[in-house]
Every structure is written in structure tokens, then in C-alpha cells.
Amino acid sequence: MNDNNSPKFAVVGHPNKGKSSIVSTLSHNDSIQISSRSGTTEQADHFTVNTIKGSYDLIDTPGFQRPLRVLNWLEQHCNSASERAATVAKFVADSECKTQFKDEVALLEPVIDGAAILYVVDGSRPYGSEYEAEMEILRWTGQPSMALINPIENNDYIGEWESALAQYFKSVRVFNPMKADFEKHIELLQTFTHLNPKWAHVLGSIIDDLQNERATQQTTSVSILMHLIEDLCQYQNCQKVLSESQAKLIKPALEKQYKAWMKQREEKAIKELLTTYAHYQTKVSLDQFDLPPDLFDCDKWFAWGLDKKQLIYAGTAAGAVSGAALDVAVAGSSLMAGAIGGGLIGAGSAWFSADKLVDIKIKGLPLGGYQACVGPIKNRNFPYVVIGRFIHLFKQISQLNHANRQALDFNASDFQDKVETLEKIEQKELHAACARLIKQKPVDSLSEVLTPLFND
Ligand SMILES: Nc1nc2c(ncn2[C@@H]2O[C@H](COP(=O)(O)OP(=O)(O)OP(=O)(O)O)[C@@H](O)[C@H]2O)c(=O)[nH]1
Ligand SMILES: [Mg+2]
């Protein structure tokens, strides 16, 4: 838990309006229980957001159950408006209230303890007078407060809510904990800074930290891909054999092991990516993704990697023709046709053919016997396929809110469009890097080459 002077926010409201979802997304914690069952959260739970320069607390609370009766109790125990906050404190401390109004005591306790109020409503359901007692009780506490409209199913009643909430709260914001992107999280935290002037400074520092952390996460992601692609492009599975005929016999087994290793290596990278973005518990479990389309499902390669036209460009960009000729080729002139016609990219070669991914190589060993090896992969599209798949997952994982427990979607890829949006020089560098990778040659500054693909 936090020290008493650091910012704290109690997330309160009707049951089942997304309070826990908001806490989960803002605290980057995917272990918080969220469910369509009303009354999921039964006690006040503190979640501390820690950064280098500070920390703040978010307190998830149970929903109001009997607000009208609670308001009645408060009115009966209060003689003057100046005693309202003290009356709420009395309510929270009262042993009978603790059993009779368990949920209200749990949700008001942190507020009486100094937490600011974040009142959550659902913008897809109409406003109703039953919420007035809740807002009135919150007003009695005298604590700084703001309202968050969570458009759970749609935006239909946002306007209605805005007018109603404005009467009780100085600040009203729409925030969707399932969909809000990182900029929206930051915008919301910035509004928190206005709730209590004493907290403004530390919250400002925390926002800076979170932005830096976000940039670091991206750098880490680039590095995960860099190691993945190097490993996948270099991997060979070798075994000693006595004769060439034995080598042919074990080829299917070697190939199977080879592919299994490659897939596992990719899964490891995805796990690292999930960890980088603090997704530990979500349904994005690795057994769930048999990674469709399969890493070796060659029919899908032109979707994940480059398409044929881009591959031709890649061939020229990787240095097969001069820079000047390259620009003409990219402009779509006849030179491109000439290049293909001229056999620059031999038909059925490693560029397009997906059937011959890996060959078996057999070589004699100095002390007798042979070594049979499967891999490294030869297909020129392969590095792009690896990059394309990873970038696709990166986009989803880096934007996945912690309240969103859905499985990831592996079907779409816009890697080709992404490559097109790179600067020409960046494209050239990418193609040159991939050309070296597929020949198992080291690439200087691979992370610099990959970084533009991760930028928005
Ligand atoms: N589609 C969608 N569903 C949401 C959103 N926010 C919450 N939900 C769903 O609404 C339900 C309630 O979410 P919770 O975060 O558990 O709500 P709560 O207010 O903490 O509920 P209690 O703890 O029961 O009071 C769950 O089924 C969520 O999946 C949203 O922005 N979009
Ligand atoms: Mg809850």
C-alpha cells in the first residue's frame, strides 16, 4: 500500500459498470477479476502503480447496493450540512452499518481515508434517478471527484449522462477501458492531476515515467525481433550418419525437429513480447495459438511476408542493380519487367518457391561418417514473413488493454502496407538486411533497420 500523501483514487459506482475494468487497464494488471456477473468485486482492493519517480493507488470497490437506504441513514444521523463528511465517517465506522451495508462501507472507507473519487457509469444505458442517491452520498464526503462514462456497448446515452453528471461533478470524461489507447490513458491521468493540487507534481512525474516506459517497451520489442530473426535465419538441425542413404532416411525426422524448433523459438519471442507489455494472465495463452497461419504454411506466406511485386523490388533494392536503376524500377517502368526477363530473379528460385524451404545437406566428416543437416532456410521471403508476423503481434499486444481478456487475432496482416510506408532508404536498408540474414551474414545495426516498422 501507499503512504498517506501519495495520490489515491477510489473507483466507485453501480455494480457491473466496468469499475474493475478501468482499474485493470490503468494499473496494467490483467489478474483483476472482471465478469459480467453483477457483484464480482466484494471488497475494496488496492492496486499500486509504481514508477521510478512515484506511485499512486487505484482502489477497486464493490458497487452500491442500497444507496437510497444509506442516504436515509446519513440524513437521519446528520444535523447540519457542515457535518456531512463526518456523518459519512460515522457511517463507515458504525458496526451495524458494517454488516447491514457491507458494500457501501467498503466503497466509502477509502474515500473517507482521503482517496479522490472516480465515479463510473455506463454510457450505453440511459440515465435514471436511481443514480442520484449514489452521487449524493459521494457529494457528502466532500472529497475531490470526477465522473467516467464507460461506453460498454455503444455511445447511445453519453450526451444524456454528460448533462446529468455535470450537476454533480466538475469533470466528466468518456473512457473505454477495453479500447482506449495509450494516449487516452495519458490524457485521463492528466485530468487526475487537477483533482488535488497536492498530487499534481507527483502525477506529472508518473506520467513522464509511463511515457518513457512505453518507449523502452518498444525498444525491447525491436530487440526481441532482432534476436528472433537472427536465430531463425541461422538455425540448422544436424545429425551424424553412417552413410548417405541413412541421411536420406532420417531426413523427414530432421525436418520435423527443425520445424518444431523454429516454431518454439517464435513462441518464445511472443511470450517475451507479452511479458514486455505485462500481459501474464490473459487468455492469450500459447497453447491457444497454434499460430495460424502456421509458420510453415507457405500458402500464406505472401500474406505475411512481401507480395511478389515487393519481392522483386526487394531483389533490386538489396543491391542486385544500381541505385539509379532501382528508382526507375520502383517507379514501375519497363526496367522491372526487364529485370525479371533478364533472369535477375530466376523463376522458381528461392524468391518465390515455397516448396523447397530447407534442403538436406550431407557432408563427409574428417574422422569418417557423414553429417546430415537441415537448414538454414533459403527462401528469400522468409525474413519478411518472420518480421511481418511479429509486427502484427506487436501492434496487437502493445495496444491490448489489460481489461481486455480476448484472445489475439492472427488473421490479418498489413505488413506489406507498412513496408510501403517506409522511406525509400529505410526500405532499401530492410531489403539489404534481409538479403544478408538469409545468407547467414551478420547485419550491422539490425535494430535500427527494424525500428521504423514499429513506429505508428
Ligand atoms: N464491451 C465492453 N464491455 C465492458 C466494458 N467495460 C466493462 N465491460 C464488461 O462489463 C462487465 C462488468 O465489468 P467489471 O469491470 O467487472 O465491472 P464492475 O463495475 O467492476 O462490476 P462489479 O465488480 O460486479 O461491481 C464485464 O462483463 C466486462 O467485460 C467496455 O468498455 N466494453
Ligand atoms: Mg468489479
How far is Cα 134 from Cα 140, in angstroms, rounded to an integer?
10
Residue 67: predicted pLDDT: 97
Strands (E), 100-200: 116-122, 145-150, 172-174
208 located within any domain:
no
How far is Cα 277 from Cα 28, in angstroms, rounded to an integer?
8
Question: Tens digits of per-residue pLDDT, 237-262?
Answer: 999 999 888 888 998 899 889 888 88
Torsion angles phi and psi, residue 365, rounded to 5: -100, 150
Same domain assignment for residues 298 and 408: yes
DSSP state of 81: G
Of 161, 195, 229, which residue is a domain's last? 195
Same domain assignment for residues 243 and 361: yes
Same domain assignment for residues 119 and 42: yes
Pocket-testing residue among 152, 157, 179, ligand 1, by greatest number of atoms within 8 A of Cβ: 152
29-38, long-range: CB within 8 Å, 24+ apart, which pairs?
29/278, 29/402, 30/278, 30/279, 30/280, 30/281, 30/282, 30/402, 30/403, 30/405, 31/280, 31/281, 32/60, 32/402, 32/403, 34/403, 34/405, 38/63
For ligand 1, say whether the CB of 63 is within 6 Å of any of its atoms: yes
pLDDT band at 138; cut points 50, 70, 90: very high
Same domain assignment for residues 230 and 183: no
The 3-state DSSP class for residue 370 equals strand
Residue 456: predicted pLDDT: 80
Measuring from atom 25 of ligand 1, which residue has the nearest CA? 15
| Bridge partner list, 210 | none
Question: Tens digits of per-residue pLDDT, 163-197?
Answer: 999 999 999 999 999 999 999 999 999 999 999 99
Residue 304 pLDDT greater than 70, yes or no: no
Residue 351: predicted pLDDT: 38
How far is Cα 305 from Cα 357, in angstroms, rounded to an integer?
15
10 Å CB burial of residue 28 (0-12, 13-18, 19+) is middle
Same domain assignment for residues 86 and 138: yes
10 Å CB burial of residue 456 (0-12, 13-18, 19+) is exposed
Distance of CA 73 to the CA centre of its chain: 45
Residue 344 pLDDT greater than 60, yes or no: no
Nearest listed ligand to the Cα of residue 125: 1
Domain CATH number, residue 21: 3.40.50.300
Residue 123's domain comprises: 8-195
Same domain assignment for residues 167 and 267: no
Nearest listed ligand to the Cα of residue 174: 1
Counting from 1 in the atom list of ligand 1, the atom nearest the Cα of 24 is: 15
pTM: 0.85
Question: Tens digits of per-residue pLDDT, 266-279?
Answer: 889 988 999 999 99
Same domain assignment for residues 75 and 127: yes
Residue 302: predicted pLDDT: 58
Same domain assignment for residues 264 and 295: yes
Same domain assignment for residues 146 and 220: no
Same domain assignment for residues 153 and 236: no
Domains of the chain: total: 2
Question: Which amino acid makes up residue 288?
Answer: Q
Higher-confidence residue: 30 or 354? 30
State the average pLDDT for the chain.
85
